[in-house]
Amino acid sequence: MQTIYDRDAPSLIVDLDVMETKVVRLQNYCDQHHIGLRPHIKTHKNPAFAHQQMKLCAVGMACQKLSEAEIMVEVGLFDIMIPYNIVGPHKLECLAHWLIARKSGVQ
């Protein structure tokens, strides 16, 4: 059996029980105070965690970069806010493609 000391660094090691407790606690707080929770994926950058947060009633995800948002879209998460400027023809073209596809009903 592999231990954490056998892992190559850097490695993500998560106590799933602690993570779930904290995610539920934060969501409960937001629900009690009528706050729409939009977690920033920068902390975990993990589609499975993002899906779990959405199942617990997060209103969507926040991503810092278009490339992070692209990964979330690829795994079926479409309510994404990018609170930073999107600069450059390539990034704007990608964003326009997503918006057109979304408007036409293509996911």
- Confidence check: pLDDT of 13 > 90: no
User: What's the structural domain count of the chain?
Assistant: 1
pLDDT confidence of residue 21 = 92
- Report, as an integer, the average pLDDT of 11-31: 89
**What's the CATH number where 66 sits?**
3.20.20.10
Query: Could you list the residue range(s) of the whole structural domain that residue 83 is in?
Result: 4-103
| 50-66: burial string, b at 16+ Cβ within 10 Å, e else | bbbbbebebebbbbeeb
